[in-house]
């Protein structure tokens, strides 16, 4: 395990000014983009929303559009039926319950269709400057590989990370871990050679023969 101070300093060296890579202009556009990003890359979501937001960028726009037409527009993001349904339902709730504006309260965000803890945390941190620690697949993978947590449960991971790191670092660390996981500590082929943590990381593959890597992987699978 690498201590929390080393994680903060290491990520600050590698990713000095992290930012959300989902393109958006308003809290509502961000909400839609995050819903679309489930099991989809930010790059693909941006390709879709670049066209979508030209004509549909307010809650009423998504209430008025048919389910079928919205599904067609977001088809390439995957899970398009459920995502379209969630976006339309969330839009209706935002209009009827929150005066047409995305709520800036975590608990209220969780009441919207398609919004779980990760989505609510992202919206709070990015759109409203809150101190929130969103856990997505990258944060979960990086946290486990660095030895910060030992769980596959995103909620338990979030709880542990919030205890390890000071609140003022949460939102920044989230995006640093996302970008670190996306470009360095990748799922299939982590770039351990260029990782600032490679000397102390319990999951580092530097200097480990291929046959030993397979043994380590099999051992983890049997746990």
Map out the domains of the chain as residue ranges.
Answer: 4-15+135-222, 27-128
Identify which has the larger pLDDT, 175 or 207.
175
For CA atoms 29, 30, 36, 41, give the dihedral sign: positive
Q: Are 21 and 27 in contact (CB under 8 A)?
A: no
Q: What percent of the chain has pLDDT over 70?
A: 92
Which one is catalytic: 73, 83, 88, 136? Answer: 136
- Please give the CATH topology (third level) of the domain spanning 27-128: Endonuclease III; domain 1 (1.10.340)
- 156 is a catalytic site residue: no
**pLDDT tens digits for 27-71?**
999 999 999 999 999 999 999 999 999 999 999 999 999 999 999
Radius of gyration of the chain (CA): 19
Which one is catalytic: 73, 83, 118, 172? Answer: 118
Q: Are 103 and 28 in contact (CB under 8 A)?
A: no
- Give the lowest-confidence range in 67-76, 159-168, 213-222: 213-222
pLDDT of residue 221: 46
**pLDDT tens digits for 68-108?**
999 999 999 999 999 999 999 999 999 999 999 999 999 99
Nearest residue to 122 (alpha-carbon basis) of 204, 22, 215, 54: 22
Q: What is the CB neighbour count within 10 angstroms for residue 99?
A: 8
Rounded Cα distance between 166 and 7, Å, is: 12
- 118 is a catalytic site residue: yes
Rounded Cα distance between 136 and 114, Å, is: 15
**Mean pLDDT confidence for 144-150:** 96
**Mean pLDDT confidence for 175-197:** 94
Q: Are 158 and 167 in contact (CB under 8 A)?
A: no
**Mean pLDDT confidence for 216-222:** 48
pTM: 0.88
Rounded Cα distance between 65 and 71, Å, is: 10
CATH code given to domain 4-15+135-222: 1.10.1670.10
Q: Do 27-128 and 4-15+135-222 have the same topology in CATH?
A: no
Q: Are 99 and 60 in contact (CB under 8 A)?
A: no
């Amino acid at each position: 395990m690498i201590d929390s101070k080393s994680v903060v300093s290491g990520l600050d060296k590698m990713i000095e000014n992290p930012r959300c890579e989902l393109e958006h202009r308003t809290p509502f556009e961000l909400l839609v983009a995050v819903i679309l990003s489930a099991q989809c890359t930010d790059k693909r979501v941006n390709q879709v929303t670049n066209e979508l937001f030209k004509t549909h960028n307010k809650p009423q726009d998504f209430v008025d559009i048919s389910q079928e037409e919205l599904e067609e527009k977001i088809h390439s993001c995957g899970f398009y039926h459920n995502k379209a349904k969630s976006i339309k339902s969330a839009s209706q709730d935002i209009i009827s319950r929150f005066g047409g504006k995305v709520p800036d309260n975590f608990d209220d965000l969780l009441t919207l269709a398609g919004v779980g803890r990760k989505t609510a945390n992202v919206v709070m941190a990015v759109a409203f400057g809150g101190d929130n620690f969103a856990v997505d697949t990258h944060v979960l993978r990086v946290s486990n590989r660095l030895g910060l947590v030992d769980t596959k449960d995103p909620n338990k991971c979030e709880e542990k990370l919030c205890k390890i790191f000071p609140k003022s670092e949460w939102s920044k660390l989230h995006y640093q871990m996302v970008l670190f996981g996306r470009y360095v500590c990748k799922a299939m082929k982590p770039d351990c050679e260029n990782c600032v943590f490679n000397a102390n990381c319990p999951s580092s593959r530097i200097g480990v023969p291929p046959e030993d890597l397979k043994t380590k992987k099999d051992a983890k699978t049997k746990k």
